[in-house]
Amino acid sequence: MGANQTGARGLGLHLHSTLVVSTEGVPLGVLNAQFTAPVTKSEQDKRPAHEIPIEEKKSFAWIAGLRECVSLAKSSSHAPGLCDGPGSGFLRTL
């Protein structure tokens, strides 16, 4: 995020939102929105990335959003999913 008006520096916030659209592409609304603050890995944490549980990673927001979609879609016979970037890998696993 950089410096603000007082000169203080920060890492900003991450926003991960899930937008629901109809099969015709009409936006229906935001299903959920998750705000998280970046957490710097401590110097004592020597775990390699592949040993860190997915729940502790920023990318878990994709899984949480997809879980919300799955819950909503249980009442629908046709519920396509679309993700960009890292989320597409999680979509294929559900």
pLDDT at 21 over 60: yes
pLDDT on residue 66: 85
3-state secondary structure of 23: coil
Token reading at 23: 């099969």
pTM, entire model: 0.59
> What are the Cα distances from residue 52, in Å, to 5, 38, 90?
36, 16, 17
- Write out pLDDT tens, residues 36-93: 888 888 899 999 989 999 998 888 888 888 888 888 877 665 555 656 566 555 554 4
pLDDT on residue 93: 45
